[in-house]
Amino acid sequence: MNDSQKRNHILHWHFEMIQMQETLDRIKAAIGLAPEGDLEHACSCMMSALTLTTAELLDDQDEWLDWYWLENEMGKRGFAAGPDGKERPIKGLDDLFWLMEVGE
């Protein structure tokens, strides 16, 4: 798989993850769902499945997609990551692309 194909898969993953979270947030705000409820669990399972499937497709052995989603909150936290001496804040998709490329 070439870099362009990898980027397209990551862009698709990112778009769907953001859409799911935004939709869930709107529903929770409208009807006051509990965070541990069935809908939250179902959405989380779907997002996990999409992340795992995309990671497998991209051979993401370092689990950067999972890290970017769960720990770095889709770049909102801007945590630094990368190989020793080359770490940088990961705030957006260009940073995520870089991180996944240097980790290969």
**Cβ distance 90 to 75 under 8 Å?**
yes
Domain residue limits at 18: 3-102
Distance between CA atoms of residues 88 and 11, nearest Å: 21
**Position 96 pLDDT exceeds 90:** yes
**Cβ distance 80 to 87 under 8 Å?**
yes
Looking at the 3D structure of the chain, how many domains does it have? 1
Q: DSSP letter at 84?
A: T
Whole-prediction pTM: 0.90
- 2-30 confidence digits (pLDDT tens): 999 999 999 999 999 999 999 988 988 89
- 28-85 confidence digits (pLDDT tens): 889 877 777 788 889 999 999 999 999 999 999 999 999 999 999 999 999 999 988 8
